[in-house]
Structure 1
Amino acid sequence: MTTATMPTMYDNREWVAQGGSLLLGLVLALAISKLAIQHEPMPVEAPIQITLSEPPLELPKPPPRVEPPKPIEQPKPQEHVQQKVAAEPIRQPIVTPIAAKPSPAPEANPVSVPDVPVSPVAKTLPKVEETPVVQRNAAAEGRFAQDVRTQIERKKIYPDSARDLGMSGVVEVVYVLDRTGKLMKADIASSSGFPTLDQAALRAVRAASFAAFPADAWVGENQKEFRTRLVFSVNY
């Protein structure tokens, strides 16, 4: 190595040394600042406290105070009026007796009876007439029975065959009539002994016409039984 190059080497070393010290200072400064940042205490946030407040209790309101009614003051009587009334005497009116006149007798007025209104139902209903009570008349019954026998005698026919053969006899027939005079039934009650005469008697009863019962005959009976004797004789 030459002497010419020696100063240059020393210059480079000095520069390197200065740069290293500068770099070291920077590293130390950075390290110190980092340590300061790490050791700086972190701020601690205060915990949030939530308090639930209860609703205020409503106390019942006291009842309104009722004031007692004030006594009504009675008006004081006026003493001077009472004294004046008490001082003046009460005057009684003088009553003059009056002779009482006799009152005339009231005239008798005819009393008018109001018409009773008739209901429409009563107007529509037919009036029921009361049936008068009819007494039984025996004489009317006898006359009717005699008329019945007369009607049968008029219808009686003596058969020619029986007359020619000399048949004769008495036939008693029994028959029933209703109140209108209608023949209900007829039968032989007592035979003559000849069927020809018996049948002639029945034909006479059935051919006769009868009137209705009288109102006073056999009251309360709807039918009546009769008996009639028919005589068949040549000399009759």
Structure 2
Amino acid sequence: MSGVSMAGRARLPYQEPDRFGFALVAALLVEAAATLAFVHFANQPGPVANHRPRIMKIQMMAPPPKPKPLPPPPKPMPPPPKPLPPPPLPVAPPKPLPPPPPPKPIPRPVPRPIPKPHPMKPVPHIAVPRPQPPPPPPVQPAVSAAEVESATARYAALVHSSVQADLHVPAMVQMMHLRGVTTVSITIAPSGALVGVSVLRSSGAPPIDQAALAAVRATRFPPFSGKMPHHAVSFTLQVKLRAG
């Protein structure tokens, strides 16, 4: 049998040789070669006494040499130095400002001569006539009690008709079909101004009472006649209200 050569193996990238693994592979190869030789001779016919065993030569390949270390990469060139800024131009110092002109003297006012007071001429006395007192008011004839009562009754009737004319029926009263009479007390000044109003007797329906009071406050009353008292007078009125 010819010698076994390992020259035909493909070369792998170089790694650091493992001596123990290399010895183990060599031992396995020797044992395999011996086994193959024994099997080969056992299958040959004829006597075996004169047959000499062949010696198998195994050529061990030396490990490839270590690759040379790569040279270190060249150091990068330092950047060129930045150009220096140009030197500043010389700045001329500012020219000094001219001194301010001296302040002009303020002219003093010349005092004017005070004129001498002239003596005042005496004012002639003029007699002013005194105003005449107003004539006394005409004496009005005395008014009898009957005339006062009659004039007051006529004024009360005028007040009642005016309040009834200004009476407004609220929508709630119309919807509920309410009706009623509210008795109120009215106090009027001689000028016709309303002094006060209040409910003496309710109609039993608050909306009707409120409508009666609103009608009194909305009415403009005339002033008293000459035969009526010269003080406020109270009147009692019955305000009637009915829906529709």
TM range (shorter): 0.3 to 0.5
**Based on CA coordinates, which of the two structures has the bigger radius of gyration?**
1
- Structure having the larger proportion of residues in helix: 1
TM-score (norm 1): 0.44
